[in-house]
Amino acid sequence: MSNIREHILQTTCNLMEKQGYHGTGLNEIVKESGAPKGSLYHYFPEGKEQITAEAVWQSGRMTAKRIQNGVSGGSNAAKAIHDFILNIADHVETSGFAAGSPLTAVAMETATKSERINLACREAYTLLETAFKEKLLESGFTKTKAEELGTFITATVEGGIILSRTYHSGNPLRTVAKHLKVLLSQ
Amino acid sequence: MSNIREHILQTTCNLMEKQGYHGTGLNEIVKESGAPKGSLYHYFPEGKEQITAEAVWQSGRMTAKRIQNGVSGGSNAAKAIHDFILNIADHVETSGFAAGSPLTAVAMETATKSERINLACREAYTLLETAFKEKLLESGFTKTKAEELGTFITATVEGGIILSRTYHSGNPLRTVAKHLKVLLSQ
DNA sequence: GTCTATAATACGATAGAC
DNA sequence: GTCTATCGTATTATAGAC
């Protein structure tokens, strides 16, 4: 796959995790990525919607992988999930308060405005929920419980990201990590 | 206080809980509110930032009040918070998947772009966290625990709103409500 | 206080040369 | 594949009449 194409997608992720969908312009993506300006519509003939949908989807796949690889042994979901969230907390602070993924902002902005992007966001969230669920299954949770907790954990992390970005501090995410660990260790 | 002014703020809340900050234009606010077009900059001389900051702040105050009044007796925080979230779940579905408040979307979009709106979002979230905390204190939680859980609950609700909007279903919020109740009943 | 008209700018998208 | 130039349409904000 083209290098430039990948780089445009990565830049889109980086910008949208700070500014969201409407707050990020195509001119900004071109400029920031350093990609040849004429090539944007060559690689993404369907424009901004296509770029965003692909960026969201790719970001979801990468985040899910990070959850899966959290603890290789897989015997302790509580610790794996705890560490995963602490990593996001650090990232928020070291990146100038980026969200770690474009998903949170883009999902909110486009939920009722673009069917295509909304579909990509659903798929991305389902990947995250499933990754958490698998971790919990490995640790001995029942199927129903693992499924519901997968949703619960995803919601809590997303909300923690919003609070940490708003307060310009990783602490809300750290509080979330701490209490999720207690909940999952019981 | 002016009736028109209040109506402009209310309309801004309604639009931004669906479309966010950048997705909502001033023209749209004027048109939707039916307010006299010439009066927008009369009541809000500092423009969109001022309108948004005030809308966010007002919305935070109203939501905090709804949490406080959830259960008048105040003896059962778990049930009060559970019911509060179920109400949001219903609202998301009956409103065509609005967020219940402009806070979630606006906070994400403006966290690093507008200091003024960011400050309003912080104050609004602090109001929510405090409202949850007070409910927990009334139910006998220790001060430290009530404080941390106030943050945890706020994060979980905000994340639940994102998931429910994305999936076009109140069910993620209902899952959140269920497991929060279990957590708080122990 | 409210109106219309418009300034000034940014946006997404496209055309056509090379 | 990549370029520049530009179209058409949004946006926020302001000016000036009434």
Q: In angstroms, how far is the first alpha carbon of chain A from the final one? A: 46
Mean pLDDT score, A54-68? 97
A67-108 pLDDT, tens per residue?
998 765 556 899 999 999 999 999 999 999 999 999 999 999
State the residue for tokens 């929510």: B128
DSSP strands (E only) in A75-165: none
Asked if strand D comes closer than 7 Å to B41 Cβ, the answer is yes
* Chain B residue whose CA is closest to A153: B156
For residue A38, what pLDDT is reported?
Answer: 83
Distance CA B52, CA B122 (A): 13
Over chain A, what is the mean pLDDT? 94
**Spatial contact of B175 and A152, defined as CB atoms under 8 Å apart:** yes
Instruction: Give the distance from CA A38 to its chain's centroid.
Output: 29
For residue A83, what pLDDT is reported?
Answer: 95
Cβ of A156 and B154 within 8 Å?
A: no
Distance CA B117, CA A25 (A): 21
**Spatial contact of B78 and B56, defined as CB atoms under 8 Å apart:** no
Distance CA B125, CA B127 (A): 5
Dihedral (Cα; A61, B172, B95, A105), 10-degree rounding? -30
Q: How far is A107 from chain B (nearest CA, A)?
A: 6
Nearest to B172 by CA among B151, B148, B153, B156: B156
A155-179 pLDDT, tens per residue?
999 999 999 999 999 999 999 999 9
Distance CA A16, CA A25 (A): 10
Q: Which of A95, A151, A175 to mutate to test the interface with B (most CBs of B within 10 A)?
A: A151
Residues of chain B with pLDDT under 70: 1, 71-75
For residue A70, what pLDDT is reported?
Answer: 79
Dihedral (Cα; B19, B94, B50, B124), 10-degree rounding? -110
Distance CA A68, CA A31 (A): 34
Structure tokens at A164: 């940490």
Residue B161: helix, strand or coil by DSSP? helix
* Chain A residue whose CA is closest to B148: A175
Asked if strand D comes closer than 7 Å to B23 Cβ, the answer is no
Given the candidates 1.10.357.10, 3.50.50.60, 3.30.70.3270, 2.60.120.430, the CATH classification of the domain at B49-184 is 1.10.357.10
**Spatial contact of A159 and B159, defined as CB atoms under 8 Å apart:** yes
**Spatial contact of B155 and A176, defined as CB atoms under 8 Å apart:** yes
Asked if strand C comes closer than 7 Å to B38 Cβ, the answer is yes
Within 8 A by CB and 6+ apart from A115, the residues are none
Structure tokens at A185: 């260790």
Nearest to A97 by CA among A169, A28, A154, A156: A169
* Chain B residue whose CA is closest to A148: B175
